[in-house]
A and B are shown apart, each in its own frame.
Chain A
Amino acid sequence: MQRENISGFITSSLALPADLSHGTARITLLGGTVVRIENHDGIRGFRPDEIRVASGKGEIIIAGEELSLSVLAGEELVAEGTIRGLTLDFEEGDRP
């Protein structure tokens, strides 16, 4: 059993909150202007209309207008702007 699967198994067996397991991104959307992503794996792309954030085996895509990163610190980022969409682009079986 791989390490991630073991941690997932333990989390589900002990009924722990999912965001405690390693590698699980926590996404908070505040209205349509602020997105906060914790436990991400880095920036993959940055344009005023799109921000691509790596998470696990996939990507979190923030689409919108005049997007900016008000905070980019370690495993946490806060994106601001007019948010039009939030896409979770993962391979089947994976989770963000």
Chain B
Amino acid sequence: MNLLGKRAGYVSVAVDNGTSGLELVRRLNEEGIELFSVVYQKERIVFDIARKDLLLLRERAASLHCHLHVLSFGGLCFFPKKMKRFYAFFAFFAFFLLMMTIFSSFVWKLEIVSADGEALQEATVAEIEAAAEAEGLFLPLRKSSVKNGAYGDKILARCPDLAWLETECDGIKLLLRAAERSTAKIENDGVADIVAAKDGMIREIFVLRGQALCDVGDTVKKGDVLIDGHIVYEEEGKEPVYAETEAKGIITASVWYRGTAYVSLRQITAKPTGRVEGKIYVEKGDRRIVLFDSGEKSFANAVSEEKTLSFRGWQLTSLTYREAVAGEKLLTEKEALAAAEKKAGTLAQRKIPVTAKIVGRHRCLEKDIEGAVGVTVLLETEESESFIEMK
């Protein structure tokens, strides 16, 4: 079986399926002519025959008075013929490829970027652009003329503020990566000292700008200058040089916070009797609507409790009176001291800033008052930012 014969080129033919049609197929078969895809279709026999056997088929069909209908053709030899209808498409595709090749061999946009990620100064960018123009770098520019790096060196030679410059083609963009010469710049935003915002003891001091006026272990008071913005450079045999700057540094200090509380040994207690009175009302401005009222307050001693709830300007209030009988409870000294210490600790803690870290706690007893005990709690904190202020 020669399947290559069909691939080289074949014709799809239909013949009437009368006696002559079948006879034609039979005769072709007897003569050893290969037929492919022989199907019975609408009273016709359709088959594919190799292109080289087409003339023979015509002769045999004529001798048998068969009507041949060529339906289609395929295979390699007919490929160019079939492709004719796509010539416009191929031409456009080829043109598109050609244009893409031409356009992509040029750079169309210039971008000046910093090599270290930081923004370049406007003056530097303008300087590079001017240098690029002076060196004949006009867009569009062939990529091949950029790739050897000659432009980079020439532009760098024209820009004294640049330490380094590199050219790189990124698609249709020409990137000029530049690094500015780093010059030691003295920041001088004004004169300022760092002073203590509260009393404390210096634990650490690290001066970034200015002159330190205190040392580790020094006790300072609120308002004391810690780092001075006025600097004096003194050298033997020379006149002192004065300079001013905005003081900068990191200072950590210990700060103590005090809280004192007294607690009486005799505590008054309220013992509820179980009787309750009260009222519920809503009000808005001057208008009040009473929802429930148990009448005038009749208890001699009572513990009152008020709850409110607001909604769109209206306020719902619930007022409850619980009758109570006053009682007395005697605390031991130990219990009273514990209560006083707790109260003093809370008072001291309220003064501590959020950023401060508590590193120590000290307690000392106060001079007794008759019938009461007093405790002072000292909380030691470590503070940095909250300890200093600029002045």
A: which residues have CB within 8 A of B?
A: 42-48, 67-74, 76-77
| Residue among A45, A48, A67, A71 making CB contact with B34, cutoff 8 Å | A71
Q: Is the CB of A76 within 8 A of B26?
A: no
Q: Please name all residues of chain A whose beta carbon is closer than 8 Å to the beta carbon of B40 when the two chains form the complex.
A: 46-48, 67-68
Q: Is the CB of B38 within 8 A of A72?
A: yes
In the assembled complex, how far is the CB of residue B52 from the closest CB belonging to chain A, in whole angstroms? 14
- Beyond A45-B22, A46-B25, A46-B45, whether A70 also contacts B32 by CB under 8 A is no
Q: Is the CB of A76 within 8 A of B1?
A: yes
| Residue among B2, B30, B35 making CB contact with A42, cutoff 8 Å | B30
B29 touches A (CB below 8 Å)? yes
Q: Please name all residues of chain B whose beta carbon is closer than 8 Å to the beta carbon of A44 when the two chains form the complex.
A: 26
Residues of B34-63 at the interface with A, using a CB-CB cut-off of 8 Å, are: 34-40, 45, 47
Q: Please name all residues of chain A whose beta carbon is closer than 8 Å to the beta carbon of B22 when the two chains form the complex.
A: 43, 45-46
| Residue among A42, A46, A71, A76 making CB contact with B36, cutoff 8 Å | A71
Residues of B10-43 at the interface with A, using a CB-CB cut-off of 8 Å, are: 17, 22, 25-26, 28-30, 32-40
Q: Is the CB of B45 within 8 A of A74?
A: no
- Could you show 23 A-B contacts with beta carbons less than 8 Å apart? A42-B29, A42-B30, A46-B38, A47-B40, A68-B38, A68-B39, A68-B40, A69-B37, A70-B36, A70-B38, A71-B34, A72-B25, A72-B28, A72-B29, A73-B1, A73-B2, A73-B29, A73-B32, A73-B33, A73-B34, A74-B29, A76-B1, A77-B29
Q: Please name all residues of chain B whose beta carbon is closer than 8 Å to the beta carbon of A70 when the two chains form the complex.
A: 36-38
Q: Please name all residues of chain B whose beta carbon is closer than 8 Å to the beta carbon of A76 when the two chains form the complex.
A: 1
CA separation between A48 and B47, bound complex, in Å? Answer: 14
Q: Please name all residues of chain B whose beta carbon is closer than 8 Å to the beta carbon of A73 when the two chains form the complex.
A: 1-2, 29, 32-35
CA separation between A46 and B37, bound complex, in Å? Answer: 13
Main secondary structure of the interface of A (DSSP, over half): strand
CA separation between A42 and B32, bound complex, in Å? Answer: 10
CA separation between A42 and B77, bound complex, in Å? Answer: 30
Interface size of B in residues (CB-CB distance below 8 Å): 20
B: which residues have CB within 8 A of A?
A: 1-2, 17, 22, 25-26, 28-30, 32-40, 45, 47
CA separation between A46 and B17, bound complex, in Å? Answer: 9
| Residue among A43, A48, A67, A68 making CB contact with B25, cutoff 8 Å | A43
CA separation between A43 and B47, bound complex, in Å? Answer: 14
CA separation between A44 and B30, bound complex, in Å? Answer: 12
Chain A residue nearest to B34 (CB atoms) is A73
CA separation between A43 and B23, bound complex, in Å? Answer: 9
| Residue among A43, A47, A48, A68 making CB contact with B37, cutoff 8 Å | A68
Q: Is the CB of B37 within 8 A of A74?
A: no
CA separation between A43 and B45, bound complex, in Å? Answer: 13
Q: Is the CB of B34 within 8 A of A72?
A: yes
CA separation between A70 and B37, bound complex, in Å? Answer: 4
- Beyond A73-B2, A74-B32, A76-B1, whether A42 also contacts B38 by CB under 8 A is no
CA separation between A69 and B40, bound complex, in Å? Answer: 9
Q: Is the CB of A72 within 8 A of B47?
A: yes
CA separation between A45 and B22, bound complex, in Å? Answer: 7
In the assembled complex, how far is the CB of residue A50 from the closest CB belonging to chain B, in whole angstroms? 10
Q: Is the CB of B29 within 8 A of A43?
A: yes
CA separation between A43 and B34, bound complex, in Å? Answer: 13
In the assembled complex, how far is the CB of residue A17 from the closest CB belonging to chain B, in whole angstroms? 21
In the assembled complex, how far is the CB of residue A10 from the closest CB belonging to chain B, in whole angstroms? 27
Chain B residue nearest to A67 (CB atoms) is B40
Q: Please name all residues of chain B whose beta carbon is closer than 8 Å to the beta carbon of A72 when the two chains form the complex.
A: 25, 28-29, 34-36, 38, 47
CA separation between A88 and B1, bound complex, in Å? Answer: 25
CA separation between A71 and B25, bound complex, in Å? Answer: 12
CA separation between A43 and B37, bound complex, in Å? Answer: 15
A47, A73, A76 — most chain B CB neighbours (10 Å): A73
Q: Please name all residues of chain A whose beta carbon is closer than 8 Å to the beta carbon of B33 when the two chains form the complex.
A: 73
Q: Please name all residues of chain A whose beta carbon is closer than 8 Å to the beta carbon of B29 when the two chains form the complex.
A: 42-43, 72-74, 77
CA separation between A8 and B22, bound complex, in Å? Answer: 32
Top-10 shortest CB links A-B: A69-B38, A73-B34, A68-B39, A72-B35, A74-B32, A48-B40, A43-B26, A73-B1, A42-B26, A72-B38
In the assembled complex, how far is the CB of residue B209 from the closest CB belonging to chain A, in whole angstroms? 93
Q: Please name all residues of chain A whose beta carbon is closer than 8 Å to the beta carbon of B25 when the two chains form the complex.
A: 43, 46, 72
